[in-house]
Amino acid sequence: MSYQEWDTVELEKLGREQNIFFGNENRTRVFVSVKGRNIGGGANTFASNFSDWVKSRSDGFVLEKKLSRADLAIVIANKVNEKELSRAKSNDCFVIHRLDEHVEKDEEGGRRITHQAIRRINQLADVTVYQSDFVFQNMHPYLSFPQNYEIILNGGDQTKFFPAAEVGSYVGHVSWSAGGKKRLDLLYAFAKENAAQKFLLVGNQERSKYQFGMLPNVRCVGPVRRRDLLKWLHKMKWIYFPSENDPCPNTVVEGILAGLPVCFNKDGGTRELVRGCGLPLERASEMDGGLEEMRSLALERSDLFFERAAEKYLNLYRQYSRGRS
């Protein structure tokens, strides 16, 4: 054994001894491959919510910062060191691979590299979690049909996202990206054609080529911290969300929890989240007329509470880890 190998083994041994010293020897140590930050984005939001949720528990689970010490690893897409994951797997770490992706034919560049890494990582997974049926239908064949899988829609933190006492006055849009899939062209055209409506844009829309700030009925506030998002959602009456092939957008979950109906693009997983709490883009002119009914449905969406989604991950660990040798 080399010095470096000896050193690593000793450090891992020390880590296990520390867990015993602090009373964690009988608790399942949970590692999340993304460190949640106080900014937008699906991976960051999930990681932050899941880590906070595990920390709040008083039962048999505890958050673990080191993959080498983990009993359970929640790996998000390609956000993990593959060699470290392979070593953890050899040490009997249970791996849940969370996927919020959409692969396309003949991909090139960064997307191709990312998805190839995801396919390699998935070979180490005990269970694959798809964030929507849309993701499942797209990624499951790409991953060569992994045997153990579950479809779990994203959830949101209902203690941070909840309805306002009164309905706002703006048509809203929230996006941390200005990429082509966000279809900001549709948003710009809709705002321009509906001069009687007031629009409130939160995020990075002004990084696109569209001059939203030049439209007299549009207010752009730019990107905000997650903890400040709710006050802007409370100024909205409904959300216009034209993003296409979006697997399972957190901003839609948070909007619905805030009592906001959503006008959505039918291409992607967004409609699985919205259900009766909104209408497709083609029926955007009907949103104001159906606002009261759709809002009442949004107020009943306890199925989108994050704790319900998170508990399903731990149930997968309980279910599948029992059968392992």
Report the pLDDT averaged over residues 238-267.
Answer: 96
The residue segments making up the domain with residue 317 are 3-155+305-321
The number of distinct structural domains making up the chain is 2
Distances (CA, A) of 181 to 102, 177, 187, 241, 280: 11, 9, 12, 11, 17
* Residues sharing a CB contact under 8 Å with residue 43, sequence separation 6 or more, in sequence order: 34, 76, 77, 79, 100
Same domain, 26 and 107: yes
7 and 151 share one domain? yes
CA dihedral 106, 108, 110, 113 (to 10 degrees): 60
Percent of the chain with pLDDT over 90: 82
Contact, 190 vs 240, CB < 8 A? yes
Q: In which band, very low, low, confident or very high, does the pLDDT at 8 lie, cut at 50, 70 and 90?
A: very low
Q: Looking at residue 14, what is its pLDDT?
A: 46
- The rounded distance, in Å, linking the Cα atoms of 254 and 231 is 12
Query: 163 in a domain, yes or no?
Result: no
Within this chain, do residues 123 and 186 fall inside the same structural domain, yes or no? no
Residues 44 and 140 in one domain: yes
| Any domain includes 266 | yes
- Do residues 28 and 138 both lie within one domain? yes
The pLDDT of residue 325 is above 90:
no
The answer to whether position 297 is within a domain reads: yes
| Token reading at 187 | 């948003």
User: 204 with 181, same domain?
Assistant: yes
Asked if residue 160 belongs to a domain, the reply is no
Q: Tell whether 121 and 13 lie within a shared domain.
A: yes
11: domain CATH number? 3.40.50.2000
Quote the pLDDT of residue 226: 85
Whether residue 147 sits in one domain with residue 279? no
Do 138 and 19 fall into the same domain? yes
Question: Is 161 among the domain residues?
Answer: no
Indicate the pTM of the whole model: 0.87
For residues 249 and 203, give the distance between their C-alpha atoms in angstroms, rounded to a whole number: 14
Instruction: Confirm whether 164 is domain-assigned.
Output: no
SS (H, E, C) 78-111: CCCCHHHHHHHHHCCCEEEEEECCCCCCCCCHHH
pLDDT digits (tens, 9 = 90+) for 55-101: 988 788 999 999 999 999 999 999 999 999 999 999 999 999 999 99
Residue 290 lies in a domain: yes
Position 22 confidence tier, pLDDT thresholds 50, 70, 90: very low
At residue 107 the predicted structure's pLDDT band, cuts being 50, 70 and 90, is confident
Q: Does residue 165 form part of some domain? A: no
Residues 181 and 229 in one domain: yes
Quickly state the pLDDT bin for 25 (edges 50, 70, 90): low
Taking alpha carbons only, the member of 150, 156, 143, 137 closest to residue 45 is: 156
Q: Do residue 116 and residue 138 come from a single domain?
A: yes
The verdict on 290 and 316 lying in the same domain is no
